[in-house]
């Protein structure tokens, strides 16, 4: 891949959050279909490049989701996506999601860093009142990142998702704006 | 409403569940806009009959993600509310249940309870669901009581989830599993 021209939107230490680039749609589709990546994202149906493209194409109206590419500064490559979906502008809450699509960048605290940047963006710029995340019980890596980032366990949805032949629990996490303000003091 | 033209899909004691009739969109629009009826459903945008018609037309996918019924009151011979499964997930076999009795003078008669019970039976016995979830806002004590009376248990409290009369309030989520329901109905 040619080194893309990058216009960072949010600056981090090891990563930047940059706008989605439709020239990378093959890469996004690869991540979405990758068995290791899709396991806990529960993408149980294959997604074509065309479908991914449609998903990322600009839409009219107020955004119900905001997606970023996670860009590795030192290696100068996109390594995943993250953002907000199901944005409810009246109740001012949204679901946050995060996926490091390149497994060789797992366990390097890059998800933690991206998540921190997203939280500051959500409360500081989008004026959210609450940010939440649902993470399946066996996905220990992801929920320990959420806890490290200051998310509070709100409750457990019992036997709610079918993984490897059985129904497993989902852990629901929340981050309230008041907690974010306290963390900044 | 003549008996032979009514599309009875599920028969209850006092009520029947019928597929939605596009000729009734004006009645549904009246309920959706009614300040008292929409208080706890948080319909914060006005809804026209045309909006509802459009929504009906879009709902053609199979298997259906949402299943919507009109609640028909046999003695009064008119529709009095609606009940639906939404966001049906056919892989996890789960769905959300919601009920509204739109005719306010009928509140307190447990018609919503009867409709919800019919839906739970339909969900478990016909749609092969394993989990049904319902939610209510904390101040809506009536709804919480009804949900618990049909055997659903509190599963999750979403703190400050919904903006209501100028403050953020909690949303309570209740659920019932098929095995529990089968035990109850043995």
**The dihedral formed by the CA atoms of B144, A156, B90 and A47, expressed in degrees to the nearest 10:** 130
Residues in chain B: 186
The first and second tokens of residue B35, run together, are 């300040």
Residue spans of beta strands (DSSP E) within A45-176: 66-72, 77-88, 93-100, 130-136, 152-163, 166-176
**Any chain A CB within 8 A of the CB of B167?**
no
What per-residue confidence (pLDDT) applies to A58?
81
Task: Measure the CA–CA gap between B86 and B97, rounded to whole angstroms.
Answer: 7
Nearest residue of B to residue A163, measured between CA atoms: B92
Number of CB atoms found within 10 A of residue A97's CB: 18
pTM > 0.80: yes
What average pLDDT does range A147-163 have in this prediction? Answer: 95
- Tally C-beta pairs within 8 A across A and B: 53
Nearest residue of B to residue A156, measured between CA atoms: B156
Cβ-based neighbours of B105, under 8 Å, separated by 6 or more = none
Q: How many domains does chain B have?
A: 1
Contact B157 A174 (CB under 8 A): no
**Any chain B CB within 8 A of the CB of A89?**
no
Nearest residue of B to residue A178, measured between CA atoms: B160
Q: Which residues of A touch B156 (CB under 8 A)?
A: 154-157, 172
The C-alpha of B28 sits at a distance from chain A's nearest C-alpha, in angstroms, of 23
- B124-148 pLDDT, tens digit per residue, is 999 999 999 999 999 999 999 999 9
Burial class of residue B69 in the structure, from the number of CB atoms within 10 Å of its CB (0-12 exposed, 13-18 middle, 19+ buried): buried
- Pair type for strands A93-100 and A77-88: antiparallel
What average pLDDT does range A32-37 have in this prediction? Answer: 92
- Helix ranges (H only) for B73-167 are 111-125, 141-149
Q: What is the mean pLDDT of chain A?
A: 93
The first and second tokens of residue A48, run together, are 């074509």
The first and second tokens of residue B157, run together, are 């409290």
In sign, the C-alpha dihedral spanning A37, A41, A45, A50 is negative
**The dihedral formed by the CA atoms of B38, B39, B45 and B51, expressed in degrees to the nearest 10:** -10
Residues of chain B with pLDDT under 50: none
B residues 29-58 lying closer than 8 A (beta carbon) to A: 44
Strand partners, B174: B134, B154
The C-alpha of A138 sits at a distance from chain B's nearest C-alpha, in angstroms, of 16
Burial class of residue B16 in the structure, from the number of CB atoms within 10 Å of its CB (0-12 exposed, 13-18 middle, 19+ buried): buried
A residues 116-145 lying closer than 8 A (beta carbon) to B: 129-130, 132
**The dihedral formed by the CA atoms of B106, B109, B113 and B116, expressed in degrees to the nearest 10:** -30
A3 secondary structure, DSSP code:
P
Kindly provide the b/e burial profile for residues B163-179, where b requires at least 16 CB atoms within 10 angstroms of the residue's own CB.
bbeeebbebbbbbbbbe
**Any chain B CB within 8 A of the CB of A7?**
no
Tokens 């993250």 sit on residue: A82
Domain of B148, CATH number, reads: 3.40.630.30
Q: Which residues of B touch A132 (CB under 8 A)?
A: 158
Q: Which residues of B touch A158 (CB under 8 A)?
A: 155, 175, 177
Domain ranges in chain A?
8-184
Q: Which residues of B touch A153 (CB under 8 A)?
A: none
**Any chain A CB within 8 A of the CB of B162?**
yes
Give the residue, B55 or A182, on which the prediction is more confident.
A182
Cβ-based neighbours of B181, under 8 Å, separated by 6 or more = B120, B124, B151
CATH class assigned to A8-184: alpha beta
Nearest residue of B to residue A175, measured between CA atoms: B159
Q: What is the mean pLDDT of chain B?
A: 93
Residues in chain A: 185
Could you tell me the pLDDT band of residue A6, with boundaries at 50, 70 and 90? confident
Could you tell me the pLDDT band of residue A4, with boundaries at 50, 70 and 90? low
Task: Measure the CA–CA gap between B69 and B50, rounded to whole angstroms.
Answer: 19
Q: Which domain covers residue B161, as residue numbers?
A: 3-184
Contact A44 B91 (CB under 8 A): yes
| B93 within 8 A of B128, measured Cβ to Cβ | yes
What per-residue confidence (pLDDT) applies to B4?
67
Mutate to test the interface with A, among B168, B173, B179 (most CBs of A within 10 A): B168
- A81-131 pLDDT, tens digit per residue, is 999 999 999 999 999 999 999 999 999 999 999 999 999 999 999 999 999
What per-residue confidence (pLDDT) applies to A50?
93
The first and second tokens of residue A129, run together, are 């009142």
């Amino acid at each position: 891949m040619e080194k893309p021209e990058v216009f960072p939107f949010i600056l981090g230490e090891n990563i930047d959050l940059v706008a989605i680039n439709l020239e990378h749609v093959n890469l996004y589709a690869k991540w979405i279909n990758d068995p290791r990546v899709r396991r806990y994202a529960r993408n149980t149906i294959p997604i074509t490049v065309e479908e991914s493209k449609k998903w990322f194409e600009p839409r009219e109206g107020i955004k119900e989701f905001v997606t970023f590419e996670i860009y590795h500064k030192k290696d100068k490559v996109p390594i995943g996506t993250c953002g907000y979906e199901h944005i409810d502008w009246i109740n001012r809450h949204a679901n946050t999601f995060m996926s490091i699509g390149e497994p060789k960048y797992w366990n390097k605290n890059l998800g933690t860093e991206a998540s921190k940047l997203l939280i500051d963006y959500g409360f500081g710029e989008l004026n959210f009142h609450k940010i939440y995340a649902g993470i399946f019980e066996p996905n220990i890596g992801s929920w320990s990142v959420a806890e490290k980032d200051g998310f509070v366990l709100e409750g457990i949805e019992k036997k709610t998702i079918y993984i490897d032949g059985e129904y497993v629990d989902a852990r629901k996490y929340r981050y309230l704006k008041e907690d974010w303000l306290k963390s900044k003091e | 409403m003549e008996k032979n033209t009514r599309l009875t899909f599920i028969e209850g004691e006092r009520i029947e569940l019928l597929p939605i009739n596009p000729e009734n969109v004006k009645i549904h629009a009246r309920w959706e806009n009614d300040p008292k009826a929409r208080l706890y459903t948080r319909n914060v945008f006005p809804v026209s009959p045309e909006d509802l018609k459009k929504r009906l037309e879009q709902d053609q996918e199979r298997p259906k993600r949402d299943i919507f019924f009109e609640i028909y009151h046999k003695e009064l011979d008119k529709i009095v509310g609606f009940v639906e499964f939404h966001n049906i997930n056919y892989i996890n076999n789960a769905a959300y249940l919601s009920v509204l009795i739109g005719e306010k003078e009928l509140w307190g008669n447990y018609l919503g309870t009867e409709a919800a019970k019919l839906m739970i039976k339909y969900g478990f016995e016909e749609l092969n669901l394993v989990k049904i979830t319902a939610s209510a806002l904390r101040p809506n004590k009536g709804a919480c009581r009804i949900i618990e009376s049909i055997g659903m248990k509190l599963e999750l409290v979403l703190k400050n989830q919904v903006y209501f009369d100028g403050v953020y309030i909690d949303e309570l989520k209740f659920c019932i599993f098929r095995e529990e329901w089968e035990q109850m109905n043995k």
